[in-house]
Amino acid sequence: MSIETALGARLSPMARRRNPWAAYGVALAAVMIAAWIRWSAAGALGAGVHFITFLPAVLIAAVAGGFWVGLFAMAASMAAIGLLVQSSSFAGAFEPPTAAALFAFAFASVAVAAVVSFFEQTIDRIAAQAHNQHSLIESAPNGIVIVDAGGKIIGLNHSAEGLFGYERAELLGKGVEILVPAQVARAHVGLREKFQQAPETRAMGAGRDLSGRRKDGSEFPLEIGLNPIEWDGQRAVLATVTDITERKQHEERQAILARELEHRVGNIFAVILATIRRTLTRGRNVVEAAQILTQRVQLMADAHAVLSESMFKNIPLNKLIDIGVGSFKDQVTSKGVDIAVNARAAQAISFVVHELVTNAVKHGALSSPRGAVAIEKEIETIDGQSFFVFQWSESGGPPAVATTRKGFGSFILLETPRQFGGEAEMDFGEKGLTYRLRLPLEAIR
């Protein structure tokens, strides 16, 4: 039986009184029939029992319309008796009613109307409560499935239909194991029977991952709350089913983010330590080392701010170059493609640009107001593989001079590309330094 059938049928007493005029019509018709029966049985009924056929009319009227309609039937009955008694044709048969008979009829009519009205109101309240419960169950966002002691589905709501992909008629009367994954259906029977032995309100499978099975065979994670109830006079269990797919996905994303954060923080500390070791080398005084170290750590902070803003993915390359160039934008021109790179590549390219700018400020084109730097970015294809090419060309400054000392800057410029399967080359020419970086596009996107 569906929830609508079980609860909707109990609304009939309230529905019968929606039209009061119809109720008064029923009362009048019942009195007229009672008068006809009393007139027909005039010889068979003696004096003092004139109202005996009218009491059922009062009962019918009270059932049809309530207390006041019952009193209306009582008054109509008294009027009908009065007319019958005054009839000359039946004067012998209808003796004037005694006061005791009139009082007894009035008392019995009021009592019948009051009792019937009380029961009708009680039924109306029960029906209203049932209707409210039905509305709550049907409008509940969670699925609700009602299962009898034998494991048969005897009720469910609209949300449960949507969760499992069944029409209501397809589930009513079926075993609840139809909604359980096949691999655990047998075990579920034992758990269900154990619960029926000592039913109590509780969550099912606390601490365990539960799944439901849809009509198409697909499964989804869920939580179930169990509540023992009485349904149509029999013991049953109301199961509240909640789809937790989004929650599970959120938890997985949180776990991934936590692992990613741990990984990135570890990388940041590793880079900082490496930067400190390579900056604090022999031949530098404390002031110079502090200045260089401050610049490099500040670069890491700026690059990290860009990474955070882009949620550590799809970082615009041009934005990284702008940060690295800083206050020398009027001497640096950049043209070519702008691509989005991953966090690891963004950090590496930021260091490359910073070292190129630092070298140009100290020894190259940016050390002179007339110097200039041209940055070109393009995608080229070699043997079917795409590469990102970055070229830094200096001009207008002093000639570039190669140094024999391999410091942190040289390591950044020449060794970093190899982490991505790429390569870099430097040309120390008369016009200035030319640096060319080639990285596999797949590795940095």
pLDDT at 388: 94
Rounded Cα distance between 176 and 192, Å, is 10
Judged on CB neighbours under 10 Å (0-12, 13-18, 19+), 412 is buried
User: What are the C-alpha distances in Å from 107 to residues 59, 76, 83, 323, 362?
Assistant: 13, 15, 21, 100, 117
CA 443 to chain centre: 37
User: What are the C-alpha distances in Å from 207 to residues 51, 176, 195, 224?
Assistant: 72, 22, 17, 12
State how beta strands 315-316 and 219-231 pair: unpaired
Amino acid at 281: T
| Tens-level pLDDT at each residue, the chain (445 residues) | 444 444 444 444 444 455 678 888 888 888 888 888 877 766 555 555 567 778 888 888 888 888 888 888 888 888 887 777 666 454 444 455 566 777 788 888 888 888 888 887 787 787 777 667 677 778 778 899 999 988 999 988 989 999 999 999 999 999 999 999 989 888 888 888 888 888 887 776 555 678 999 999 999 999 888 888 887 778 899 999 988 888 888 888 787 767 766 755 665 666 567 667 656 766 667 787 777 777 767 766 766 666 666 555 678 888 888 877 877 788 999 999 988 888 788 878 888 888 888 888 888 898 888 899 999 999 999 888 999 999 999 999 898 888 766 666 777 888 888 889 999 999 998 889 999 999 999 988 8
Rounded Cα distance between 430 and 91, Å, is 145
Evaluate whether 233 touches 195 at the Cβ level (below 8 Å). no
Rounded Cα distance between 344 and 111, Å, is 90
Question: Any residues with CB less than 8 A from the CB of 396 and at least 6 apart, and which?
Answer: 365, 368, 370, 371, 372, 431, 432
**DSSP reduced 3-state for 71:** helix
Rounded Cα distance between 343 and 443, Å, is 11
pLDDT at 406: 65
CA 44 to chain centre: 76
